[in-house]
């Protein structure tokens, strides 16, 4: 599992790359919920960018540009991040 910032992660199985989001449970713990399954890393990261744009609710162009730049920064930081060896979707996130 590869963390993408504090809210998202990228996981994989034998057939797909899996984009997940960290969400709180009713008990106050946090788990990863699957956003979607993708055939390539590129398509998963493209969906992350689209999610971040949709989260702005298209309020104004400046807000959208900021969301795009922040997401690009998260993606560009990925090669320097370490993949975690613990935690699966539905488990408590590590770190």
Angle between helices 41-55 and 61-77 (to 10 degrees): 150
Confidence of residue 5 (pLDDT cuts 50, 70, 90): confident
Report yes or no on whether pTM surpasses 0.95.
no
- For every residue of the chain, DSSP letters joined together read -EEETTTEEEEE-SS-EEEEEEEE-TTS-EEEEEEEEESSHHHHHHHHHHHHHHHTTT--HHHHHHHHHHHHHHHHHGGGSPBPSS--TTSPPP-
Which percentage of the chain shows pLDDT scores above 90?
39
In a domain, 88, yes or no: no
What's the number of domains the chain is made of? 1
In a domain, 70, yes or no: yes
Residue 28 φ/ψ region, left for φ over 0, alpha for ψ in the -120 to 50 degree band, beta for the rest: left
In a domain, 91, yes or no: no
Q: Which two tokens stand for residue 4?
A: 């993408």
In a domain, 62, yes or no: yes
In a domain, 68, yes or no: yes
In a domain, 33, yes or no: yes
In a domain, 93, yes or no: no
pLDDT attached to residue 19: 97
pLDDT at 92 > cutoff 70: no
Which percentage of the chain shows pLDDT scores above 70?
82
- Domain range enclosing 55: 2-80
In a domain, 35, yes or no: yes
pLDDT mean over 24-39: 92
């Amino acid at each position: 599992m590869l963390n993408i910032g504090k809210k998202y992660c990228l996981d994989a199985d034998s057939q797909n790359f899996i984009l997940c989001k960290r969400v709180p449970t009713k008990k106050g713990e946090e788990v990863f919920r699957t956003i979607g399954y993708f055939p390539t890393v590129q398509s998963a990261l493209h969906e992350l960018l689209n999610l971040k744009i949709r989260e702005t609710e298209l309020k104004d162009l400046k807000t959208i540009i900021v969301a795009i730049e922040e997401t690009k920064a998260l993606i560009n930081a990925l090669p320097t991040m370490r993949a975690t060896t613990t935690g699966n979707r539905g488990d408590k996130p590590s770190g």
